[in-house]
Structure 1
Amino acid sequence: MGYQSFEKAIPLNETGKLKITLKESVTKLEEVEIVAAKNPITNNNGNLKIDITNPVFSAIPDPLDALSMLPNVQIAANRESISIIGRGNPLIYLGGQRIDFEEFRALSVDAIDSIELISNPSAKYEAEGRAVLLITRKKNVKEGMRMSVGETASFRQNFNNYLVSNGSYSNGKWTVQGNFAYNDLGQWESHTFAFRIPEEDIFSDYLVLVPHNKREELNGGLGLFYPLKNDDYISINSTYKLQTNNAPIETETFIQSEGVEDNVLTDTENDNRKEYFSGNFNYNKSIAKDLNLFSGFQYSSFKQTLESEISNNLNEDGFGLDETRDQFYKINSLAFRLDLEYTILNDLKWEFGTNWNQASADAFTEIQETLIPEKSIIDFDYKERLYSGYSTFSGNFKKHINYNFGLRVEYNQVKGEVENEASPLAERENTNFFPKVGLNIELDSTKTLSLNYAKSISRPKFSRTSSVRTFINPFLEAENNVNLLPTLTNELTANYQWKNKSINASFYRKTNPVNYIIRFDEVANRAIFSPVNLDKESGFNIGLTLPFSYKKWTSTNTVSLNYNKIEDDTADVGTTNPYLYAYSNQQFKIGKDTTVAFGGWLLTRRQEGIFKRNNMLVLNATITKTLFEKLQCAIRLNDITQAMNFEESYAINGVEAEGVYFVDAQEVAFSVKYNFGNTKKSKFKNKDVDENLNRIN
């Protein structure tokens, strides 16, 4: 780029002519490298989307940990559920169709392209849930073979090992893809509660510790996609998960009743096994230019066995075997769905469809107490049917106003009964209507105002309606609740977006909200820890999202002011105070192959009517480096402040309780992942059919 240098000696005592011919100076470049930073979290009308292909997130082996990096997402202390700040438990969708929690846990992070939090889903989505987590698979599954293998060594209280692999093969006509993971985990768990029952003159304080839960997990999936004409296709997909636990539980308990004090040490040996399978079939057909049909069916099953040996040491008299328990739980679910999408005009679309689901569960419990010769046997059967239909319209008005409105109708039948008992424990049927309305007004090319109203429902998980019980100590038992009712929510939301920044507000009311509490059973003369329906819950929140990018630096920041009030006639409702939630993620691109990230989230102290909860500040950091273009290495530091301890206190139905759930979240993790294979462009499509998948675990 330019010309070569020219030099010639000229004698000053001679007359002559000088001729200079310029010659180009060319350098052949091997490559041109442009280093830039792209924000991995985007914001569109209040919907937040995280790019999982970003090296900071793709280095995380567990999809649940990757999901926790999304703003407003909270993972429960027992890692068995997900909640969204200000919106409760979300639905999970993969490729446009619903999946359950176990199916999400079995996914390979390497197969995920992005996760989007949809704050105001339309009537096409099931009525159960106020928000949707939309999981998008990588669409560049290409002709040829591609595979990745990853290994993560994680150091928490105990050592954890994650081995994951993901692969695909396509011949240009059909595509096969699969994933497999083996996790060898040493989980640590603990919680403590002190509770008082004044009317019974009872006080108890206990500490539960699982020092080393040896958990082995096998996660796998296999899918086949076969394209037909145009966008028509047939696809089959299956997911399998096997989990075994050998979890010894140590419990220290102090009990004071009518002036008598007892100290009890409890050792519980647990052999736990969980097995999950889900398989579906999809058929997508373009019937006409403006009419598209999707149909599919799905079968899912979940099975759990739990064998326990319980020994107690009362007042240092020595350990003795008190009882053994054999428990079994199984559920089968079958679902069918049919969706039609009709484009009436270029700016008007009509979507309508129907869903059918049938689930049947069996819970068997056999308890043998040492001092009682007879066995206690409970055989509980549960059946549920759900029929639903929806219709929704969406379109544009004068190009700058987008609207959608729809109605979903659901008819539900539930029956739960104990074998050999005359009347069922639970029997009900009901019909519910769920309207949804949304309006987006484009004020100009950079500003949009969105308004939404929705009514939704949250049904209890199937396993929460069984008779399975867990021994904590001689005075406290953890039980499910066969009489749990669904929670109904009405909500109004508004969002104002300017470029990639937004401010949002929402107000909601709930009936029959579900919370876990300790209550006293006068017949059994013991305390019961179980989920119950409370009277009502209401609240509002105002939030601000501020993404930012500058050269090699990207930043995502969200902050919200929240107010939640939970009430019940049997509870003491404290002075409800608003609380603050804040999230920040900072990434720096250092050269082409190195990224450094740090951030975290904050929750201030919360008084949510009945429940008083603590403040938390959680900080994380990650550094990733790609070597030889295909070998990705990462070091992650999680919960640097060791702050993820969930404190809670309440007074309900004559029980005053205060406790802490300790979370084993502080972690140092080292991971490597290698990609190999040559591919050319192809694609894979598949949808789950069962609307109740998230209730199966």
Structure 2
Amino acid sequence: MKTSSLFVLVLILSGQLALAQSPLTISGKVLDRASQQPLEYATVKLVDAQTAELISGTTTDANGMFSLETTHKNFTIEVGFIGFVSRTLTDFDISSGQLKLGAISLEEDTETLDEVVVQGEKSQTVFKLDKRVFNVGQDLSSTGASALEVLNNVPSVTVNIEGQIRLRGSAGVQILINGKPSVLASEQGNALGTLTADMIESIEVITNPSAKYDAEGTSGIINIVLKKEEKKGLNGSVTLNTGVPNNHSLGLSVNKRTNKFNLFSQLGVGHRTFPREYKTINRDLTDNTAISSIGDSDKNETFFNIILGTDYHINAQNVLSLTGHFAYEIESEYADTEFSERDADNSLISQWNRNEVTEATNPKWQYELQYKKDFTDHEDHTLLFSALGSYFGKDQSSEFENTPFFGETNLSEQQQTRTDFKEGEYTFKLDYTHPFGEQITWEAGSQYVITDVTNDYAVSDWADNRWELNPDLTNVFDYMQKVLGVYSTAAYEGDKFGVKLGLRVENTDLQTELVNTEQENNRQFTDFFPTLHSSYKVLENFSLQAGYSRRISRPRLWDLNPFFNIRNNYSIRTGNPELMPEYTDSYEVTGIYDQEAFSLNAAVYYRYTSDVVEDVSTFEDNVSISMPMNIGINKATGLEFNAKYYPTDWWTLNGDFNYNYFQREGEFETTTFDFNADQWSARMTTKFKLPADFDFEVTGNYRSSYQTFQQEVSDYMFVDLGVRKKIMKGKTIVNLSVRDVFASRISESETIQPEFYLYDYRLQGRFITLGVSYGFGKGEAMEFSGQKRF
């Protein structure tokens, strides 16, 4: 009897224990109370009712649905979404192991919007296996800034006064927009000024790209990722900027999100002025004669810029996107330059004034069709196809007038140039990613890029009361380049160790022709580009990364096109149709240390570059002609530090330091040259959160002097600052920024050769911008304006 009773008791307890451990399924749907539309990515948390610790959680799908399981019995449920009042549920009706919550409505909360904006302000750098992602945020000094100015605030990146982008002190950077080549980032388009700070989501700095990326760019890749908001309902912002010198613009960003469609658009109109001061000296050291110039110019630009796009969610696994970007610029430039010619005794021989008036129109457009398929077996199992087309045109005319006021010159009294430039680029790309479990990923894909350019350039001189075409300086240059690339990568990422191997093969078919003189230069070659990346987590807050990649830098259009720019008849730059590509083998090791108040990233790198492209100057009759040429090899060893420190909640320090030691070896005109040199750059930014919702930021920049094959380039230092005030609970933001506060960002170089001496000086000056931005719907206030490169 006792045994049977005990047996029955064990059965009862076992049944109760099994019942207690059976999982409880919780399900429901989260809606926007005002529109009754589903909220995707709303968070649902299960919290222990006694300890308030998180038990588990999930997010809603595209239909606002969620489902999760738990064995806990004493819990509460918290439901939240950005910009909405969170709800906590405590009373439940559990039936047959099911807790069906039904529809849960959330109400929009304007009180939290200011907090959301604040959270988005910190620009953070995220390290991945083969790249760094710099989240732009709302940096104060970016007020009224273009993509070039934003890039100048990114660790490892510098932009000089002429708009040339360098990565770790080296040129040869491949600029991508949303992972693809773009006319907006091309040297010919000069259109990065039409991309403004408010349009940029993040910037990816890839110093050692994997084989998945285009092999173009010896020093690496910078990928600018544009914003494409997907908040429910109608959202957006409107901005107004004004500045000195002229920097006036109006911008509008609008986004409409429904269950099936995401419609987005950005519009900008404005007028800008870019002043410049310059000075040059050409001295013949054989007879000590010299010609110098000093002057200033104003480049004015009226621009119109619009982006329109839509994402069509066919279903949960398939999305079709169509995007168009159109920009139109009307340019005018006025330059006034005084020239002086002196003899060996420094006595003035002649003096004249050269006046320039240039007018141009620049239409630019880009369109893209993209299809993405997400497979159901894994969230990272994807297939992506995109077709992109772009066009840039320039219709430009310049008139030059030489007015002697002492002595005589051998120049034409008047000259004029005409440029009819057309560039079309078409990119077709296919990428496939297949994860095998959570640790192994295989990628494969291909890309085909076609670039078709025609540049019709003519120079005419005024003689015998009529314009006469100068045949020596007039020609039509046709350029056609086709690059086909295929790649495959395999990656393993464990809890502590990760490795990624890749191989890319690219075939290049390049054809150039000077039509008038029937000079052709055609070449075709195939290259292999292996890559290797690895990472190891030494401690929870300390990791090591190592990488290797082989890169190519193909000659740019303007490096190949042998036209003569006659803006200054005594300092001329021309292209070289015989130019060959550079090749670089790049190695680096990076250490990443991160804790709550301090983070430090240190890298050691080495780059070996063959057939280095440098501008080489030749000299005759006091006229210098600069032409790019392949000159020897370069061995560069570098050290880089990026650090961020938060002394208090209201004070942030951010520093960036890069040192580069290089060895140049080669031969020019049968003379061997070997030299060692170095260069370094540093940037320090400090930010303060002040009372009454004021923010203040100061950034100091320094770039050291450095040496090239023929030149000595001087150092410079400049300071940017910004002030911001939030009003209306963060829905309206007033910004003030001053770039180059002391007008000290000066480009200065000297070329000292046995037979001649060249000096070049350029100053762009101070820019002050005041901006007001208002966000409506769930949109956040932002900035809209910008500068562009010359």
Aligned to 1:670: 770
Instruction: Tell whether the 8 Å contact from 2:317 to 2:375 is kept in structure 1 after alignment.
Output: no
Match of 1:253 in 2: 339
**Could you say what secondary structure the match of 1:177 adopts?**
strand
CA distance in 2, matches of 1:139, 1:181: 16
Q: Does 1:514 align with 2:597?
A: no
Name the structure 2 match of 1:419: 515
Tell me if structure 1 keeps the 8 A contact 2:141–2:720.
no
Q: Which of 315, 318, 338 is 1:229 aligned to? A: 315
Change over 3 Å in CA distance of 1:573–1:189 after alignment to 2? farther
Match of 1:63 in 2: 147
SS at match of 1:187: strand
SS in 2 for 1:147: strand
1:113-512 superposed matches below 5 A: 113-129=201-217, 130-138=219-227, 140-155=229-244, 158-198=245-285, 203-210=290-297, 212-255=298-341, 261-286=349-374, 289=377, 291-314=381-404, 316=406, 321-371=413-463, 374-375=468-469, 376=471, 377-396=474-493, 399-424=495-520, 426-499=521-594, 500-512=599-611
Q: Say if 1:145 and 1:647 are closer, same or farther in 2 by CA, change over 3 A.
A: same
Structure 2 residue runs without a partner (length 5+): 1-109, 781-788
Provide, for residues 461-497 of structure 1, a one-character-per-residue CA deviation record: whole Å limited to 9, x for no partner. 3344335432133433333333332221111111112
1:550-602 Cα offsets, whole Å, 9 max, x none, are: 22212111223222344553389686443332211111122473211112112
Please list the CA deviations of residues 322-349 of structure 1 after superposition, one character each: whole Å capped at 9, or x if unmatched.
2222221111122211111122343221
> Take 2:405 and 2:291, find their aligned partners in 1: how far apart are those partners?
15
Write the letter of the residue equivalent to 2:774.
Y
* 8 Å Cα contact 1:249/1:267 also seen in 2: yes
Cα deviation, residue 72, structure 1: 2.9
| RMSD (CA atoms) | 3.2
Larger RCO: 1 or 2 (CA < 8 Å, sep 6+): 1
Deviates more, 1:114-123 or 1:669-678: 114-123
- Normalised by the length of structure 2, the TM-score is 0.75
**Number of residue equivalences:** 644
Deviates more, 1:576-585 or 1:627-636: 576-585
Query: What amino acid maps onto 1:132 in structure 2?
Result: I
Hey, what's the Cα distance between the residues in 2 that align with 1:336 and 1:172?
A: 29
- 1:601 paired with 2:696, answer no
- Residue 737 of structure 2: aligned partner: 636
Deviations 1:2-59 (A, max 9, x none): xxxxxxxxxxxxxxxxxxxxxxxxxxxx979989887423363796544433252563
SS of 1:247's equivalent? strand
Name 2:76's counterpart in structure 1.
none
CA distance in 2, matches of 1:348, 1:574: 46
Kept in 2, the 8 Å contact 1:406–1:436? The answer is: yes
1:668 shift after superposition: 2.3
What SS is found at the alignment partner of 2:149? helix
1:251 maps to a residue whose letter is T
Residue type at the aligned position of 2:280 = F
Partners of 1:636 and 1:628 in 2: how far apart? Answer: 21
CA-CA distance at 1:521 after TM superposition: 6.5
CA distance in 1, matches of 2:616, 2:231: 51
User: Does structure 1 conserve the Cα–Cα contact (< 8 Å) formed by 2:326 and 2:364?
Assistant: yes
C-alpha distance in 1 between matches for 2:406 and 2:737 = 44
Task: Give the one of 549, 563, 586 matched to 2:686.
Answer: 586
Task: Give the secondary-structure state (helix, strand or coil) at the position aligned to 1:69.
Answer: coil
1:544 aligns with 641
Q: Secondary structure at the match of 2:638?
A: strand
Tell me: CA distance 1:453–1:83, structure 2 relative to 1, closer, same or farther (3 Å): same
- TM norm structure 1: 0.85
1:647 to 742, 745, 748: 748
| Alignment CA distance shift 1:485-1:65 (3 Å) | same
Unpaired runs of at least 5, structure 1:
1-29, 681-695
Q: Is the CA contact (8 Å cut-off) linking 2:706 and 2:713 kept in structure 1?
A: yes
Shift in CA distance, 411/48, structure 1 to aligned 2, threshold 3 Å? closer
Q: CA deviation at 1:121?
A: 2.1
The DSSP-based 3-state class of the residue aligned with 1:70 is coil
CA drift at 1:267: 1.1
Query: How far off is 1:87 after superposition?
Result: 4.4
Change over 3 Å in CA distance of 1:515–1:261 after alignment to 2: farther
Contact 1:40 1:54 in 2 (8 A): yes
* Other structure's SS at 2:148 match: helix
Larger radius of gyration: 2
1:362-408 deviation line (CA, Å, top 9, x unaligned): 111222212277523412222111111111111135x3211111111
Please say which of residues 402-411 and 46-55 is displaced more in the overlay: 46-55
SS in 2 for 1:250: strand
Give the direction of change, closer, same or farther, for the CA distance of 1:225–1:383 in structure 2 (3 Å limit). same
Contact map agreement 1:308 1:326 (CA 8 A) in 2: yes
Q: Deviations over 1:236-270 (max 9, x none)?
A: 11112222221122222234579994333211221
1:42 aligns with 2:125: yes
CA 1:422–1:573 in 2, change beyond 3 Å: closer, same or farther?
A: closer
Give the equivalent residue in structure 2 for 1:556: 654
Q: Separation in 1 of the partners of 2:571 and 2:404?
A: 15
Distance 1:542 1:488 in 2: 21
Q: 1:535 to 1:251 in 2, by over 3 A?
A: farther
Does the C-alpha gap of structure 1 residues 652 and 442 become closer, same or farther in structure 2, counting only changes over 3 Å? farther
After TM superposition, the structure 1 stretch with the greater mean CA deviation from structure 2, 385-394 or 95-104, is: 95-104
Q: Structure 1's 333 and 49: CA in aligned 2 closer, same or farther, altered over 3 A?
A: closer
Tell me whether 328-337 or 564-573 shows the greater mean CA deviation: 564-573
Of 138, 141, 146, the match for 1:54:
138
Worse overlay, 188-197 or 403-412:
188-197
Aligned partners of 2:228 and 2:264 also within 8 Å: no
| Conserved? CA contact 2:176–2:221, under 8 Å | yes
Counterpart CA distance in 1 for 2:683 and 2:459 is 47
Structure 1 residues 342 and 41, CA, compared in 2 at 3 Å: closer, same or farther? closer
